[in-house]
Amino acid sequence: MNGPFLSDSYVEETRFGLWFLRSHTWQYRVLRVAIHDLRGLFSEPLPANAVLLDAGCGQGKSFRYLNEVFKPARIIGVDADPHSLTQSREEAERLGLQVELIGSDCASLNLPDASVDLLFCHQTFHHLVEQEQALAEFYRVLKPGGYLLFAESTEAYIDTWVIRWLFRHPMHVQKSAAQYLDMLRTQGLQFGPANVSYPYLWWSRSQDFGLLERLKLRKPKPFGQREETLVNVVARKPLTRGAA
């Protein structure tokens, strides 16, 4: 593991949040589902012998699924929390995976330009205060033609009583799905409708966690008639500078 790390540009998780990130629900119902969904959003074949960066790798619970689904030649994990990196190292050893771990803030990645083929950012961005700087860093380290695998909860989910009570986030930077997509486009990343999904999963409906729908007491709101709680995007860095 390399330093430096821990800064003021991200908001640390609560004790409950850290416990939840170790739970089966997080691993199976959240991480696994998001990674498989992102895989289905690719319009082109996956890069061969890919270098995959897990930005905000936390406790390393994504490593198993990333390795199974994307089969990268190299995995790099970045996180700003030293304790989480220690747990990531233990998780990689338990899985028998070679993972390079770096202590670094997402807004100042300790990685060379154009060094990454796939950059996985799952439920990390809404913890970051310096979101524009982090996205610029993601763009910098991506190779031309490389992909950002972006999966985020939106403000409609983060700004609810249960999430405010159990977790900790910088509320002034939370965004809607449309605002996140605009941010990616402004940075210069490319994607079309086929590269975006809006999962409407039970755990993201914080008012009742979809209970009334499971009991068939209410029909789920269709796309376009609801506030999206999640957005997943596979966005590509242009192959040539200035490409539209």
Does 237 score more than 70 pLDDT? yes
For residue 214, what pLDDT is reported? 57
Which position has the higher pLDDT, 104 or 51?
A: 51
For residue 81, what pLDDT is reported? 87
- Domains in the chain: ranges and CATH: 15-200+229-236 (3.40.50.150)
Q: Which residues contact 32 (CB under 8 A, 6 or more apart)?
A: 65
**What band does 113 get if pLDDT is binned at 50, 70 and 90?**
very high
For residue 32, what pLDDT is reported? 93
pLDDT in tens, 81-96: 898 899 999 999 999 9
Inter-axis angle of helices 63-70 and 32-39, nearest 10 = 20
pLDDT in tens, 220-233: 665 555 677 889 99
Q: Around Cβ 133, how many Cβ atoms within 10 Å?
A: 15
For residue 18, what pLDDT is reported? 59
For residue 234, what pLDDT is reported? 98
pLDDT in tens, 164-218: 455 555 656 678 899 999 999 999 999 999 999 998 655 555 555 454 455 455 5
**What band does 27 get if pLDDT is binned at 50, 70 and 90?**
confident
Does 65 score more than 60 pLDDT? yes
Q: How far apart are the first and last CA of the chain?
A: 37
DSSP secondary structure of 106-132 = TTB--S-TT-EEEEEEES-GGGBS-HH
Name the DSSP letter for residue 135: H
What's the pTM? 0.83
For residue 7, what pLDDT is reported? 44
For residue 29, what pLDDT is reported? 77
